[in-house]
Amino acid sequence: MTTIPGLVLVLAYLAATQVILGADISSSTSSNTQPTPLSSRMESKILSMLGLSERPRPRPNATAPQFMLDLYDKLQNRSNSEHTAGRCSFPDPAFPGNIVRSVPNAGTKLKALAKSDRRFRQILHFNLSFIPSSETITGAHLRLEFLDVVRKVRPSSTVHLKLYQITQAVDEMRSASVEGTRSSFRLLASLVIDVSQASPETIDMLPVVQEWRAGLNGNTGLYVAMDIQKTEGLPKRKANAILAKKLGKLRRRTATLVVVSVDGEKCRNRFRRSADEEEGTARPVPHPNDCQRRRLYVSFRDVGWQDWIIAPMGYQSYYCGGDCPFPLDSRLNGTNHAIIQSMVNSNSPESAPKVCCAPTKLSAISMLYFDNEDNVVLRQYEDMVVESCGCH
């Protein structure tokens, strides 16, 4: 008998039915293989385990922000290094949680107050209502992506930027003279930015996001006021026309809110390392028929999920299989309880069942995908890969 917890159990069932899994990565995907849809019941079960209420269906032209792709690669590399993270945390202290969401701006475009003006204004709005109440938000910052455009057009200029919280709903750009005096604006940050610096500019938004989440202040948006110093060597009118045109091509994609959270419901520590694993002692290789880890490749592409899962398209999940013969020895990584149960079963099979081959250690994987709101989500899922097996 083989027991595999959580999502790995469902994946093993799918392997048995030859729906999405292969015994080896080399045979998992073929250019001639057509996706085999899951039954609605099975799909719903897997999506529920992934924390999704239904199958995401992003827009055909939806693309992931480059910084989210870079973050996925960065965290993957850290996961494969000697650095290890605790449960429900990425291997990077800058992201204190197991979920990172890229929330796009749903407000206005970044516009100049007047033609040939170096003053730009924008209303930002980020919908956070879809984040489940079971999650605890542990980090949030605003990425000012329009600075990359300013840097390309005016590489030696200086930007004076002010960020306001809108406390009363506004639906139009305001003149620069009233921004600091009107009661509908609360100043959050005032920055002088040298765009010649290559590092991306971000603003900590955790206190504001927590206020929105607690309902202390309505989420009526943010107001950005950007004033650019005159650029030397480039006629004022021409420089502003070029900049306005390039900023216009960004549409609303001028700023992104990045939210980090923890889903505590999936953070229970299921397994401990054995003493041999802690000390780094290798165990003897078991007999081929004995309980051990076996290859099990999960392919998301084979069920047609490549439209909403960005990465990875598949991974080695592994599973535990094989016999737990009496008497158990160190090769089978059996617990004391399993040793006693195996002895009782050998003498009196009706008194106790046979010992089962099961995971003794599981590890996490990270997935990058579109959610039901077209946000790009990077999430760490615990207990997705079998690292070791034993008789229990």
In this predicted model, what pLDDT tens digit does every residue of 220-256 receive, in sequence order? 899 999 888 765 555 556 666 777 777 777 777 889 9
pLDDT of residue 283: 57
Q: CA-CA distance, 218 to 211, in Å (whole number)?
A: 8
Nearest one of 292, 310, 286, 285 to 300, comparing CA atoms:
310
Distance between start and end Cα atoms, the chain: 10
Two tokens at 188?
A: 């959050």
Query: Residue type for 70, please?
Result: D
199: how many CB neighbours lie within 10 A of its CB?
Answer: 6
- Where are any strands of DSSP class E within the chain? 21-22, 99-104, 111-112, 119-124, 135-144, 158-166, 185-194, 202-204, 222-228, 255-263, 292-294, 297-299, 309-311, 314-316, 319-321, 357-370, 376-391
The rounded distance, in Å, linking the Cα atoms of 245 and 229 is 18
pLDDT tens for each residue of the chain, 392 residues long:
443 445 555 555 554 444 444 444 334 444 455 555 667 777 888 888 788 888 888 888 888 999 999 999 988 876 655 444 556 778 788 888 899 999 999 988 888 777 666 788 889 999 998 898 889 999 999 999 888 888 887 777 888 999 999 887 665 655 555 565 566 788 999 999 888 876 668 999 999 999 998 887 778 899 999 888 765 555 556 666 777 777 777 777 889 999 999 987 766 554 444 434 444 455 566 678 889 999 999 888 887 888 899 999 999 999 999 988 888 777 787 778 888 888 887 888 888 888 889 998 888 889 999 998 889 999 998 888 999 998 88
Model pTM score? 0.79
Q: How far is CA 167 from CA 116, 185, 210, in A?
A: 30, 6, 15
Answer yes or no: are the C-beta atoms of 118 and 111 closer than 8 Å.
Answer: no
- Give the pLDDT confidence score for residue 268 in this predicted structure: 57
- Given a contact cutoff of 8 angstroms between Cβ atoms, the answer to whether 106 and 373 are in contact is no
DSSP percent split of the chain into helix, strand, coil, nearest 5 = 25, 30, 45
- What pLDDT is stored for residue 8 in this prediction? 55
The reported pLDDT for the residue numbered 18 is 45
Rounded to the nearest 5°, which phi and psi values hold at 285? Answer: -75, 125
Rounded to whole angstroms, how far apart are CA atoms 289 and 310?
37
Any alpha helices (H) in the chain, and if so which ranges? 6-16, 40-49, 66-79, 146-153, 206-214, 236-250, 275-279, 336-347
Give the C-alpha separation, 64 to 72, whole Å. 11
Whether the Cβ atoms of residue 38 and residue 19 lie closer than 8 Å to each other: yes
Rg of the Cα atoms in the chain: 27
Give residue 128's pLDDT.
92
Q: What does residue 264 show for φ and ψ, rounded to 5 degrees? A: -70, -15
